[in-house]
Structure 1
Amino acid sequence: MRRIPLIPTLLVLAAVAVMIGLGFWQIGRLHEKQAMLAAFRVAQAEGAEVPWPDRGEGGDALYHRSRVLCTRVTAHSGIAGRNAQGEPGVAQTADCVLADGRVARVVLGWSRQPLDPAGARWQGGEVRGVIAPGPRLVADPPLEGLAPNAKPDPSEIPNNHLSYAVQWFLFAAVALVIYALALRKRLSGDANGSSATD
């Protein structure tokens, strides 16, 4: 008698259901990311300044203009960056202590040197610019005679949720096909064994 194995079948169906659920979850995340990127593009187009974010990665303040008053610089460094013409180089940064004790990272400007002396000379003051992920304030205009950095662009934020969703749906389909083939082989083997004993 041909019987479909109950427990393996239930396990496979449960795994497939989880994969399909993850696919739909990624579709939901896709819509959330699209809405977030649209809000960032609006923020990028606005000229009004917002307060420097209190905590976290910047949240709703990202890509808005802002300003900080750096009372003290605790460190200078450089990170990979591009200038306004798209050329690779080093974004000169400073970690600033604000009047309320918070720390803000400021991108002073762009240079070809890993640690440009011009950036290292900067010891504080008012900085105006655009809030980039991190968060960090990309100075606009740049400071200490450094070249302008490329302006933060929300289009650089990856939005891969659709491809992730497709992958989960494909995993589910492949799991079903593989299990169906294995089940077919097993059932045909059972049938052949039954025929041989008849």
Structure 2
Amino acid sequence: MTRFRPIPTLLVALAVATMIALGLWQLLDRLPRKEAFLAQLESNPTKSPIGFPRLPDDRLLFRQSAGDCLPPVAVRLAGAGKAGFRAIADCSNGMTVQLGTTRDPKAMVTYAGGLVTGYIGHAPDGRSLIGAALSPQQPRLMLVATPPLAGLQANAPPDIASVPNNHIAYAGQWFFFAAIAAIIYVLAARRRNDR
């Protein structure tokens, strides 16, 4: 005899509906906003230069900029993939500058500060994935020097491909989870009814 179980059915139906809604939200809301944002970033390198911003604003990524790195300056190295290492200068006025790149992991880079021209990028974030998830905050901006400073190799040019756009994949995951939940519920209900 088949028995209808209203509470488990309702809970699974609500979970499936929520997952489908999240998938639609990714496709219909988040994806168009991200595509508009990427179009803006793609046009930023051709816009006129601005002074380096005091507050983080991702809409300014890849925009040409200039700023004054005030001494004293602390320089550190950060991984840069194929380019080797980035020399990052932390200025006393709170500005961060990517001076250039080097292949030498032990390079002793000296930089006294001064006027820097280049484009706006994200400063490296040394937090772990868990730390970033528990304490989300907008990434700090950094001025990527063009031309490079302190005798270093050139920095990579702005690359729109470095900004992730995963919303179609996120939507697919939510739809997949909804389908799996529905299939598992149907199989479990059949098994219970077969007993």
Counterpart residue type for residue 65 of structure 1: Q
Does 2:85 correspond to 1:90? yes
Partner of 1:186: 192
Does 2:29 correspond to 1:34? no
How does 1:14-163 map onto structure 2 within 5 Å? Answer: 14-27=14-27, 28-44=29-45, 46-56=46-56, 58-81=57-80, 87-98=82-93, 103-117=94-108, 119-120=109-110, 122-134=111-123, 135-163=141-169
Counterpart residue type for residue 10 of structure 2: L
- How far residue 180 of structure 1 moved from its aligned partner, in angstroms, is 1.3
Q: 1:150 and 1:174 mapped to 2: Cα distance?
A: 43
Q: 2:159 and 2:72 mapped to 1: Cα distance?
A: 27
Structure-2-length-normalised TM-score:
0.83
Greater Rg by CA: 1
Q: 2:41 and 2:54 mapped to 1: Cα distance?
A: 18
Unaligned ranges ≥5, structure 1:
190-198
Residues paired across the two proteins, number: 177
Structure-1-length-normalised TM-score:
0.82
Is the contact made by 2:83 and 2:102 (CA closer than 8 Å) also made in structure 1?
no
Moved more, 130-139 or 28-37: 28-37
Partner of 2:12: 12
SS at match of 1:72: coil
Is the contact made by 2:65 and 2:119 (CA closer than 8 Å) also made in structure 1?
yes
- How far residue 47 of structure 1 moved from its aligned partner, in angstroms, is 4.6
Q: Which runs of 4+ in 1 moved over 4 A?
A: none
- How far residue 4 of structure 1 moved from its aligned partner, in angstroms, is 0.8
Q: 2:107 and 2:193 mapped to 1: Cα distance?
A: 73
Q: 2:47 and 2:154 mapped to 1: Cα distance?
A: 18
Q: 1:163 and 1:88 mapped to 2: Cα distance?
A: 29
Q: What RMSD over aligned residues (CA atoms) do the two structures have, in Å?
A: 1.7
SS at match of 1:97: coil
Identity among equivalent pairs (%): 41
Unaligned ranges ≥5, structure 2:
124-140
SS at match of 1:110: strand
